[in-house]
Structure 1
Amino acid sequence: MKTVKIKFFISCLFIFFLISCNKQKEQKTETIVNVQPETELDLLALKEKSKLGKDTVITVINDPVYHKTKKYHAVNALLLLKNEIDLSKVDIKNTSIIFECIDGYKPEMPLELFLKTNPFLAFKDVDAPKGSNWEKIVKNGNEMNADPFYLVYTSTSTDNQEYKWPYNVIKFRLESKNKNVEALQPKDDEVAMKGFALFQKHCITCHAINGIGGEMGPELNYPKSVTEYWKENELVDYIVDPASFRHKVKMPTLGITKQESQEIVKYLKYMSGKKIEVRK
């Protein structure tokens, strides 16, 4: 009887150790799978650590923000990105680079396109008045400056809207191209799809839907859709010409037609039925 009990005890110990080993192997595998390359650059933190790179003076012909030829003290943005992020671990063709700005503006462009340009991160305007880093930017009657960084190019046409020229930049972030599309695309509605394409092109850099997008302008869908508290015809007209509604409005004139604005509003109405709680 004792022999039987001992054998049973040994069998239980063996099973216990076997299960423990398997759990350790599973945990080890999960750890390896979850390893991700660093995909965000905090520019202010890099500046604090003197890791921005070598400073140089560059000239930009017909600067799209100041609308004239400008000179800046700047660092090579492409070299900075390559030094801080291991791009061999990034799916470049399917990745966007997002530029996060102080005011919540979040323009983006394909990472592949960014890597083919000659981008610089300007940190001081050569023409700035004494005691200031920047000449004032005047936009829709509002005065601003480009602090702390302004992304510029020396070999790119300023008319090409694929290239983004954000100022007040504080972070670079890499993100899958499909992330926003999958969350916001109205796959079951062809009419709303037209508005979605226009929203992606003109609106998402400043406005969010369900927390996805820029933060410069208000969230448009949660907890209430903008279509639930604006009269539809006035919302359409406002998107076409914001300055006709508000003095010194921050929203720019997008250069879209009334028909295109109506399609954007149709998309916003569609998304009003697809609310997702936005967590702070």
Structure 2
Amino acid sequence: MKTTKIHILISCLFIFSVLSCNQKKEQKIKTMSITQTETKLDLLDLQTKNKLGKDTVVAIINDPVYHKAKKYKAVSASILIKNEIDLTKIDPKNTKIVFECKDGYKPEMPLELFLNAKPYLAFQDLDAPKGTKWEAIIKDGNEMNAAPFYIVYTSVSEKDTRYKWPYNLVKIHLEPLNKSTLELYPLKNRKLETGYTLFKNQCLTCHSINGIGGTMGPELNYPRSVTEYWKENELVDYIVNPASFRNKVKMPTLGITKQQSQEIVDYLKYMSENKKKI
């Protein structure tokens, strides 16, 4: 009897410790405060005002967009940001840079990582055909143009996915690093954290949930969730291989497994019960 009581006590203590850890994690996410100020740079406006900075020629050994060596006229993106924004009032470690492109694409990365990479803001393609400023980009049978601006790096591997190479760039935003986490994290069901992480890394640059994210693709949660008008099994298959559903589809193949796609769909189903009016 005494042994049974001890076992029960130990079990209770273990359960209490697990719940306590989860509560602390939830409290931490809930109470994370957005302390960083939000700032926006309109690159076309700065160009019109002749405020981009001193231009130079940069050579990229293997450009990930054109898949070959390229040369551009560019300005230092880090110097441009430091000239236009007082970084003494911002904590780079808790700030992210969001790139706003003409087509609604919105990739992001930590500001500190970006500044340390010595990035360049390219505004002219020196390999472009005569009479043009940019060589055409051919992607999945679609022809695109990199204008007006394109972020490039001379000392970063094109295979390192931490670094973003956005073209069609028009604006740069500095935002709190935890901004999207506060709004999109599945607080009520931690089993969906994997799906949330996959969505954040693979989908948020093009799609939005409750107005948070890119606008290149459709909003996925408001007023109706994509899970409310797609058959679940077909949505899972579409995320894995969009081209098997639509000809010349703009959505790329993400290289994820069917199980990972299911994790994303499960997360989207959760968010369908947590809508916020845009």
User: What's the TM-score bracket when you normalise by the shorter of the two chains?
Assistant: 0.7 to 0.9
Structure 1 CA distance, aligned partners of 2:38 and 2:204? Answer: 24
Which residue is 1:71 aligned to? 71
The answer (yes or no) to whether the contact 2:38–2:176 under 8 Å persists in 1 is no
The answer (yes or no) to whether the contact 2:37–2:175 under 8 Å persists in 1 is no
1:38–1:235 distance in 2 versus 1, CA, 3 Å: closer
Residue 191 of structure 1: how far off its partner (Å): 2.4
Structure 2 CA distance, aligned partners of 1:253 and 1:123? Answer: 29
1:253–1:38 distance in 2 versus 1, CA, 3 Å: closer
Which residue is 1:133 aligned to? 133
1:119 partnered with 2:93: no
SS in 2 for 1:73: strand
Matches within 5 A, 1:204-215: 204-215=204-215
Give the letter for the 1:55 counterpart.
Answer: D
Which residue is 1:148 aligned to? 148
The answer (yes or no) to whether the contact 1:137–1:146 under 8 Å persists in 2 is yes
Which residue is 1:52 aligned to? 52
Which segment drifts farther, 199-208 or 188-197? Answer: 188-197
SS in 2 for 1:239: helix
Q: Which runs of 5+ in 1 are unaligned?
A: 1-35
SS in 1 for 2:117: coil
1:229 partnered with 2:229: yes
Which residue is 1:172 aligned to? 172
Structure 1 CA distance, aligned partners of 2:232 and 2:46? Answer: 46
Structure 2 CA distance, aligned partners of 1:274 and 1:103? Answer: 27
Residue 180 of structure 1: how far off its partner (Å): 0.5
Structure 2 CA distance, aligned partners of 1:221 and 1:234? Answer: 17
Give the letter for the 2:213 counterpart.
Answer: G
SS in 2 for 1:199: helix
Question: Deviations along 1:112-134, whole A, 9 cap, x unmatched?
Answer: 10111110001111111122111
Percentage of identical aligned residues: 68
Residue 37 of structure 1: how far off its partner (Å): 6.1
Question: Deviations along 1:227-257, whole A, 9 cap, x unmatched?
Answer: 0000000100000011111111110110100
Structure 1 CA distance, aligned partners of 2:104 and 2:258? Answer: 27
Structure 1 CA distance, aligned partners of 2:207 and 2:55? Answer: 34
Question: Deviations along 1:187-233, whole A, 9 cap, x unmatched?
Answer: 12122211001001100000000000000000000000000000000
Residue 38 of structure 1: how far off its partner (Å): 6.8
Structure 1 CA distance, aligned partners of 2:215 and 2:37? Answer: 26
SS in 2 for 1:161: coil
Output the TM-score relative to the length of structure 1: 0.85
Structure 2 CA distance, aligned partners of 1:38 and 1:99? Answer: 13
1:247 partnered with 2:247: yes
Q: Runs of at least 4 residues of structure 1 off by over 4 A? A: none
1:53–1:38 distance in 2 versus 1, CA, 3 Å: farther
Q: Which runs of 5+ in 2 are unaligned?
A: 1-35
Structure 2 CA distance, aligned partners of 1:168 and 1:73? Answer: 15
1:198 partnered with 2:195: no
Aligned length: 243
1:182 partnered with 2:187: no
Give the letter for the 2:266 counterpart.
Answer: K
Which residue is 1:25 aligned to? none
SS in 2 for 1:252: coil
Which residue is 1:39 aligned to? 39
Structure 2 CA distance, aligned partners of 1:38 and 1:62? Answer: 33
